[in-house]
Amino acid sequence: MRRWLRGTLPDLQRLKDQGRFGFLGRLLEDPFLFHLNRRSTAGGVAIGVFVAFLPIPLQMLLAAVLAILVRVNLILAVVLVWISNPLTMGPMLYASYRTGAWLLSAEFEAIDYDNAVQWFLGNLHQAWQPVLTGSLVLGAIASLLAYVAILLVWRYAVHRERHQRRTRFARRADEMNARSHRGEER
């Protein structure tokens, strides 16, 4: 899993050279922000998923600040904010509104699913509480599920890698024993 992530994520030196993250200064030198271990990866994913559900501008900046404060993988946190994009924002707002209205026992107003973003912006005065509540709840649930999923997938990958290593080692040992027994028989 670590090899796949290293091949997928952008290189730290390239990010430093581009200068887009120059405002972070010496924080980019903190190795914990770029580690690809179980805790850092799961934490970065959880932060990115949580912030993606928040209906706010500058999500990437918020994800970066949270990743720095918690010292988890900065790149994963920032990249996963793009779960909410122009294609997914409507369904996410709709689900947040429905969830928030249900949790707050507010009267649910039927909205046009295809125009959820426009409806939300036009009815901000009455929809902000259900949307914000639903976004926080759905974001927390999704980030918790993502965190646990990454931990489980990581554990499975490590277990599988160890099993394969043991199998290779046992196979080599068997081959060496077979060779040594053939040598004794001659």
Take residue 95 and report the two structure tokens written for it. 């689900």
Give the per-residue pLDDT at 118.
75
**Are the C-beta atoms of 49 and 143 separated by less than 8 Å?**
yes
In tens, the pLDDT along 4-21 reads 555 665 565 566 565 655
Count of the separate structural domains present in the chain: 1
d(CA 80, CA 156): 22
d(CA 135, CA 100): 8
In tens, the pLDDT along 54-67 reads 988 889 989 988 99
CB atoms within 10 A of CB 87: 7
Q: Which domain holds residue 67?
A: 2-185
Give the per-residue pLDDT at 186.
55
pTM over 0.75, yes/no: no
Give the per-residue pLDDT at 99.
92
54-58, 71-75, 165-169: lowest mean pLDDT where?
165-169
Task: Kindly tell me if the per-residue pLDDT of 119 is higher than 80.
Answer: no
DSSP 74-99: HHHHHHGGGGSSTTTHHHHHHHHHHH
